[in-house]
A = this chain, B = another copy of it.
């Protein structure tokens, strides 16, 4: 009888690295990456607003809690649009979540903390510098390793790949794992159970475990307790 360690080494010696294939990221959940991927850009790609509200200079909100400030609305910046103006003291721009922070602004007040007048807005909260801004590179910096070779793809990494513009990815092919049940006492699921016989159940739980682990089960059936019958099936 050989030892477990020895048997393991004998098997591993024969195991080759699997071939690589390229697939769409939508198909890549739980597959194993065959490449390191580094971010080609900063994410977010530009300073943007974390809320719907007004971009402004935080200095202009000093003491607003006890003494609300009134500031001029000079423009509106929807998401996806490049601001044309820049902000000076006493001014705000209406801004929406994800929109570019205009030059001159260093904070965004949530609309819930304001009251819109005609062309002005009343500010009820004092802001600190950088408040409610998502800064360029805050989530991910250009050059960061975002996916390591030999690791499984998770839903979050798939989202990150999309955000840096990668729709296809190299992964390792799934291993095909053969299952051979052996034993004169074994019968198939649908066969009638008679005394002394046992239904082949391990094949089905093993096949499910192989799938769960990312492999493809190949069911070879039941071999009788004879060397010939076992060898013929392998």
Which residues of A approach B to under 8 Å, CB–CB?
25-26, 28-29, 41, 44-46, 78-82, 98-100, 154-156, 158-167, 183-186, 189-190, 193, 195-209, 211-212, 217, 225
Sorted from nearest, which 5 A-B pairs have the closest CB atoms? A159-B205, A80-B185, A155-B208, A163-B201, A79-B185
Nearest-neighbour CB distance to chain B for A203, whole angstroms, equals: 7
Residues of B within 8 A of A98 (CB): 183, 185, 198
- Whether B45 and A193, one on each chain, are in contact in the complex, defined by CB atoms closer than 8 angstroms, is yes
Residues of B within 8 A of A28 (CB): 208
CB-nearest residue of chain B relative to A46? B195
- Whether A80 and B44, one on each chain, are in contact in the complex, defined by CB atoms closer than 8 angstroms, is no
Residues of B within 8 A of A207 (CB): 26, 158
Residues of B within 8 A of A212 (CB): 29, 155
| Cross-chain contact of A159 among B100, B161, B186, B204 (Cβ < 8 A) | B204
Residues of B within 8 A of A183 (CB): 79-80, 98
- Whether B205 and A80, one on each chain, are in contact in the complex, defined by CB atoms closer than 8 angstroms, is no
Q: A80-B185, A165-B193 are in contact. Are A45 and B198 (CB under 8 A)?
A: yes
- Whether B164 and A197, one on each chain, are in contact in the complex, defined by CB atoms closer than 8 angstroms, is no
Residues of B within 8 A of A203 (CB): 162
Complexed CA–CA distance, A69 and B166 (Å): 74
Q: A165-B199, A190-B165, A199-B164 are in contact. Are A204 and B81 (CB under 8 A)?
A: no
Residues of B within 8 A of A198 (CB): 44-45, 79, 98, 163
